[in-house]
């Protein structure tokens, strides 16, 4: 336009406006995915799309024209929840992605805290950057350190001295409840004046524990060491009589172990053996298989046989085939597998075998204790005579009973006053069929318990049971055990 001979230039903006269908934020799962937004504008009108977060990807051109859609890709998340934005046609598009945090809390390494107080800890495992919190729900448990944290770490708590009965308190860790148990404020003092250094061949000591203070009605006693055993498991107010047993030491070095009474720790030292190595092996073989030490004549026989070339594995296998082994070690293991349908634990098996060996109980009495236990009732309920008979065949003899066998056993249970379930189970566990047909599960336990004097880990039991199922002879397996560094270390 010309005004008074001069040019006046008018610039008019393009008549473009753009709108989107975005409303609020878009939620995306931790695995990632895609999302789409629509843009509406006039033909030829330009607009742009830009991601403001590295984990949000905009495929295609960043500048576009006319109406259209935008599809974005959201990468998987490996950490805590996150928020990012995309600018679409001048408008902000918010993307909220869920957390991928997986948090576990492990406090399994803690025992019961002593009444005098102490510390406990839990391990938290999660991804880097993942947040979590920790707090105590009771005033006698104090959390050390910050209440909010990120990533993996350890939570430590301090437990105040207890002046009352045993108690439990909760600590909330990463949203999970960790229960901290504390013993009572009872003080327990044992009279160890008659103990001294235990002999290498082992000894059982009568020990009186005197309890005083609050909460002394039912305090626990427990060994921290595999070769020390306390019986009974609980004491009471005033004086309680216990037996503290040091099992034989087959090595030449002395050793020290501990045991606890109401959380208080006490120490027992045992001398090393001065016997020749072959004699120590014979001691170890007999105690492992029979739960007793050999007589001088038995030591003389086997040391002579070994000197003449008999292998150590043959010695152990001979003991495994003996009647004494079958009526003791195998019988007790069968109580767990055949009656409770579970693997024995080494300490419980050893304790029950020793009670049987020392004639504290007989076979019928120990069977009765198992069949009337809460564990048996919870596992099997109140079985009918026929159900009980079939159970004995299936779990003790490892086969199904025929109808005739069931009828015979049920009739015997009803006809003879002296033939009850206890006697029946005892007879099954002493039968030739049980001895010969002992299953892989029970044999795998007996190999570890009788030869290596310990429980087997689950993968070890499974491996050995599978080897037995595949036909590997027991003699070959015993030979392998006897040659391991673990077995040889028992004699050092």
What are the distances in angstroms from CA 121 to CA 125, 171, 215, 305, 332?
13, 11, 25, 53, 37
**Residue 385: CB partners within 8 Å, gap ≥ 6?**
409, 410, 413, 414
Give bridge partners of residue 159 from the DSSP assignment: 118, 141
pLDDT of amino acid 434: 87
- DSSP annotation of 114: P
pLDDT of amino acid 417: 61
Tell me: pLDDT of 284 over 90.
yes
Tokens (6 digits) for 56: 């949000």
Tell me: pLDDT of 83 over 60.
yes
Task: Tell me which of 2-16, 262-276, 388-402, 411-425 is least confident.
Answer: 2-16
Tell me: pLDDT of 33 over 70.
yes
Q: Where are the beta strands (DSSP E) in 42-114?
A: 46-51, 56-57, 63-65, 68-74, 82-88, 91-97, 104-106
pLDDT of amino acid 115: 86
Average pLDDT, the chain: 91
Q: H/E element holding 282? A: helix 277-290
Tell me: pLDDT of 416 over 80.
no
pLDDT-derived band at 116, boundaries 50, 70, 90: confident
**pTM of the shown model:** 0.70
Domains defined along the chain, listed by start: 18-97 (2.60.40.10), 104-182 (2.60.40.10), 187-270 (2.60.40.10), 277-489 (no CATH)
Tell me: pLDDT of 437 over 80.
no
């Amino acid at each position: 336009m010309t005004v008074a001979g001069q040019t006046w230039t008018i610039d008019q903006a393009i008549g473009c406006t753009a709108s989107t269908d975005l409303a609020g934020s878009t939620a995306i799962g931790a695995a990632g995915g895609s999302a789409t937004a629509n843009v509406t504008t006039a033909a030829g009108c330009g607009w742009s799309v830009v991601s403001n977060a590295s984990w949000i990807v905009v495929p295609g051109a960043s500048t576009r024209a006319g109406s259209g859609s935008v599809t974005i890709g959201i990468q998987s998340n490996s950490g805590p929840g996150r928020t990012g934005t995309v600018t679409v046609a001048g408008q902000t598009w918010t993307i909220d992605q869920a957390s991928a945090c997986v948090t576990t809390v492990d406090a399994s390494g803690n025992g019961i805290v002593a009444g005098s107080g102490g510390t406990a800890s839990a391990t938290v495992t999660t991804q880097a950057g993942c947040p979590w919190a920790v707090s105590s729900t009771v005033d006698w448990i104090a959390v050390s350190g910050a209440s909010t944290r990120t990533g993996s770490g350890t939570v430590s708590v301090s437990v105040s001295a207890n002046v009352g009965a045993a108690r439990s308190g909760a600590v909330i860790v990463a949203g999970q409840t960790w229960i901290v148990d504390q013993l009572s404020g009872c003080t327990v003092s044992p009279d160890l004046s008659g103990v001294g250094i235990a002999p290498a061949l082992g000894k059982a000591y009568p020990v009186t524990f005197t309890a005083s203070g609050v909460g002394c009605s039912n305090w626990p006693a427990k060994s921290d060491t595999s070769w020390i055993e306390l019986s009974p498991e609980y004491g009471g107010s005033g004086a309680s009589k216990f037996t503290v047993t040091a099992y034989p030491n087959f090595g030449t070095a002395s050793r020290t172990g501990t045991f606890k009474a109401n959380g208080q720790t006490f120490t027992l030292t045992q001398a090393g053996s001065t016997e020749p190595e072959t004699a120590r092996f014979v001691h170890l073989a007999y105690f492992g298989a029979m739960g007793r030490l050999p007589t001088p004549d038995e030591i003389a026989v086997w040391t002579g046989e070994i000197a003449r070339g008999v292998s150590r594995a043959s010695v152990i296998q001979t003991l495994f085939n003996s009647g004494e082994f079958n009526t003791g070690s195998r019988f007790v293991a069968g109580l767990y597998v055949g009656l409770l349908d579970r693997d024995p634990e080494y300490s419980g098996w050893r304790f029950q075998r020793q009670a049987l060996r020392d004639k504290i109980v007989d076979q019928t009495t120990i069977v009765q204790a198992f069949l009337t236990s809460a564990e048996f009732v919870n596992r099997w309920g109140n079985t009918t005579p026929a159900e009980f008979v079939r159970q004995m065949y299936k779990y003790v003899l490892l086969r199904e009973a025929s109808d005739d066998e069931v009828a015979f056993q049920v009739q015997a249970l009803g006809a003879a006053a002296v033939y009850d379930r206890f006697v029946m189970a005892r007879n099954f566990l002493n039968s030739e069929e049980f001895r010969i047909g002992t299953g892989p599960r029970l044999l795998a336990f007996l190999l570890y318990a009788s030869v290596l004097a310990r429980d087997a880990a689950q993968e070890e039991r499974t491996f050995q049971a599978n080897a037995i199922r595949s036909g590997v002879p027991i003699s070959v397996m015993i030979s392998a055990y006897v040659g391991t560094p673990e077995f040889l270390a028992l004699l050092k």
